Structure 1
């Protein structure tokens, strides 16, 4: 079976690489990179810890998502208009951040970082809605994959590359100005991106924008089963990755340099490759078969960590296990994001996608994070990684028994594509 990689140069899909880059660029600049700057400027550890609260906007973005559904800026459509506004304001915000020193004005730079994070989260709301609205059903996997690629590249630029630029060449202030310039360039992608062929009608009132997305979703007979599936589908993957770096250093005995090199280079490359391959394959397999196949691969790939735990101390074995897990995880991510897009109605895609994506983080945040340490203490690392395979099975089982619902989502999407 041929894999239609040409789908990535499609008129609706290709701009998502640059829009995904725009989505990912501000995150590190208000997170890890800002913390690095504060550290270099000898800011106290307690004050640096305070800066971690800046990213709260990303977890609360569903609160103001109805505003993005209800109101249009009056140009470039209901989605691209908001994207352009936030990208221009983000560029200005990063330029201003570069003019403030954490050493002398930590409060001021923290306020600007909160504003940048808020604008970035708002851009994400509009971008997720745009991506949901513009893609044909068969393009959703490829669109999700290309967005992931752009996002990850932006994280490299604003995380690793930005630190080198600040330390070796330009200094921190000029580096933030450079990142602001890059952010402004991404607005060109918004101007280039096509308008959805059927953008959908905006809610008639703000009250409708708040209540109708939930009402529409929960009127579906399969609503609760789909919500549970969203929580469970990548749960095994979340457990396996929760303390993976700690395992590789403390449990398997590899050096931080070895782990960092493998995770940052090979792991990231495998994730991107998996997302791109999975996104293209989805155009052939359809949504249900992709979710089932990729979900099974996600579960089995956790055994790569088990092999590392019980096998000989060998960096190539470690690299192979990490690459396998990231490759399969990237494929699963492409299918999972396509599922979230398929569950959204165009009228409320900003609010529904924000809510569903927030729900998808429940397992990672409230289950995998707290429960992984006691499981490791009880089972040791080899037993724990075997259990992560079992943790992945309920999501696959629920997917199987709700096959008709998933296929109906795919069929409805294709019917809407033909109607448009």
Structure 2
């Protein structure tokens, strides 16, 4: 059995921290941070809700994943070549977002954000396939945890630090320039990351790249219910987080700098603890037990937002809620990523992971985003956050129902 210290220092695991950071950086810049920018620019709540549709590329990325599986840039291999190319294009596109503002050019800014989301989703296709291919089986839990750690650190930087920079130091435009520079720096790590020890052979043609991954997956027993589980598992978390930035600013009455500071300090600390703890617990508990425990915790953590909604604004209470949410959300995401990786065959890792992870975004993009504004308007913030706990229950019940299939994925060591 590989020790925790050895597995976390593996040359295949360590680069996933920075690559996970690059994967997570664009999401907040086209969702939470853009949401905050639009909020302080007096954009209507309904328009802010529709901005969540920018994330559609993350849901639809399985449509062009076979292209990424079949073809490769003429440098750095089939996986790293795509990652590097997308990182360079993302650096330019994110910086370009700083040239517009929600108040005067909401349409143009939204269109550019859609482009960023497309490039980011394509980077995710290649990165998820790379991490699935490069990790040895004993490294899977640690690799999933490190991916989540890097991803969530990026969410703190682009969703917490970015708010502070925009509010106190750089302004919104220059903050987006700085985020583009960070993405460019991540590309250097891609250059020195190792190739998979046994790289899979690309499909012989694009048609086979489309058909074979789907045929193999749907030939499995219980395939449809596993897909439904992927949609439902983090649905409560998605509803609670859809307008969380707007709630903290407009509903709970905190300032932009307060939200940014708490996200940066307490969110980052909880993220680090959650990711590393998640990897260690998964190695001991197994995949199914980890998914169940972490899923319950991430559902219960939504009660924290209810507390903020019914009490006067206090910085300490917000810090505690943000810390608990990041800790529980990080645990749940680490286990969820490990599940997706376990479900993929190496021959089709790009397309299968893209399909599965895109399904996981269905709830966030097409349910939580559009439905949260009317639910908040009809229920009010306190009742809404209570409802998000109930929304999480169907996914946990389905997980329990398919426990035999999930346990079969764990395999030996």
TM-score range normalised by the length of the shorter chain = 0.7 to 0.9
Cα distance between partner residues in 2 of 1:242 and 1:178: 25
Check conservation: 1:67, 1:206, Cα contact below 8 A. yes
* Residue-by-residue CA offset, 1:83-142 (whole Å, 9 max, x unaligned): 2333344456668x4997889999999987766554433222111110111123343333
Give the direction of change, closer, same or farther, for the CA distance of 1:369–1:86 in structure 2 (3 Å limit).
Answer: closer
Give the direction of change, closer, same or farther, for the CA distance of 1:330–1:5 in structure 2 (3 Å limit).
Answer: farther
Could you say which residue in structure 1 is the equivalent of 2:254?
255
Check conservation: 1:98, 1:172, Cα contact below 8 A. no
Query: Does residue 145 of structure 1 match 2:145?
Result: yes
Cα distance between partner residues in 1 of 2:262 and 2:364: 23
User: Structure 1 residues 374-383 or 208-217, which shifts more?
Assistant: 374-383
User: Structure 1 residues 5-14 or 353-362, which shifts more?
Assistant: 5-14
The 3-state SS of whatever aligns with 1:361 is helix
Give the direction of change, closer, same or farther, for the CA distance of 1:30–1:331 in structure 2 (3 Å limit).
Answer: closer
Cα distance between partner residues in 2 of 1:219 and 1:333: 27
Give the direction of change, closer, same or farther, for the CA distance of 1:207–1:327 in structure 2 (3 Å limit).
Answer: same
C-alpha displacement at 1:79, in angstroms? 0.9
C-alpha displacement at 1:266, in angstroms? 2.2
C-alpha displacement at 1:244, in angstroms? 3.8
Check conservation: 2:83, 2:190, Cα contact below 8 A. yes
Cα distance between partner residues in 2 of 1:99 and 1:239: 28
C-alpha displacement at 1:339, in angstroms? 0.8
* Counterpart mapping for 1:204-283 below 5 A: 204-245=204-245, 247-248=247-248, 253-257=252-256, 258-283=258-283
Give the direction of change, closer, same or farther, for the CA distance of 1:11–1:395 in structure 2 (3 Å limit).
Answer: same
Check conservation: 1:142, 1:280, Cα contact below 8 A. yes
* Counterpart mapping for 1:91-130 below 5 A: 91=91, 97=96, 117-130=117-130
Check conservation: 1:138, 1:286, Cα contact below 8 A. no
Give the direction of change, closer, same or farther, for the CA distance of 1:208–1:276 in structure 2 (3 Å limit).
Answer: same
* Unmatched segments (≥5 aa) in structure 1: 416-420
Cα distance between partner residues in 2 of 1:108 and 1:387: 35
Q: Which is greater in Rg?
A: 1
User: Structure 1 residues 155-164 or 133-142, which shifts more?
Assistant: 155-164
Give the direction of change, closer, same or farther, for the CA distance of 1:57–1:371 in structure 2 (3 Å limit).
Answer: closer
C-alpha displacement at 1:338, in angstroms? 1.0
Check conservation: 1:100, 1:108, Cα contact below 8 A. no
The 3-state SS of whatever aligns with 2:202 is coil
Give the direction of change, closer, same or farther, for the CA distance of 1:67–1:304 in structure 2 (3 Å limit).
Answer: same
* Unmatched segments (≥5 aa) in structure 2: none
* Residue-by-residue CA offset, 1:117-168 (whole Å, 9 max, x unaligned): 5443322211111011112334333323322332344455556666877899
C-alpha displacement at 1:204, in angstroms? 1.6
Cα distance between partner residues in 1 of 2:92 and 2:248: 41
C-alpha displacement at 1:329, in angstroms? 1.3
Check conservation: 1:138, 1:282, Cα contact below 8 A. no
Check conservation: 2:87, 2:187, Cα contact below 8 A. yes
The 3-state SS of whatever aligns with 2:221 is coil
Could you say which residue in structure 2 is the equivalent of 1:201?
201
Give the direction of change, closer, same or farther, for the CA distance of 1:138–1:306 in structure 2 (3 Å limit).
Answer: farther
Could you say which residue in structure 2 is the equivalent of 1:368?
368
What RMSD, in angstroms, separates the aligned Cα atoms of the two structures? 4.4
The 3-state SS of whatever aligns with 2:392 is helix
C-alpha displacement at 1:326, in angstroms? 2.4
* Counterpart mapping for 1:11-26 below 5 A: 11-26=11-26
Cα distance between partner residues in 2 of 1:38 and 1:232: 29
TM-score (normalised: structure 1) = 0.78
Cα distance between partner residues in 2 of 1:329 and 1:169: 30
Cα distance between partner residues in 2 of 1:159 and 1:389: 24
Cα distance between partner residues in 1 of 2:379 and 2:34: 38
C-alpha displacement at 1:16, in angstroms? 0.6
Could you say which residue in structure 2 is the equivalent of 1:78?
78
C-alpha displacement at 1:15, in angstroms? 0.3
TM-score (normalised: structure 2) = 0.79
C-alpha displacement at 1:235, in angstroms? 1.8
Could you say which residue in structure 2 is the equivalent of 1:390?
390
Cα distance between partner residues in 2 of 1:404 and 1:268: 35
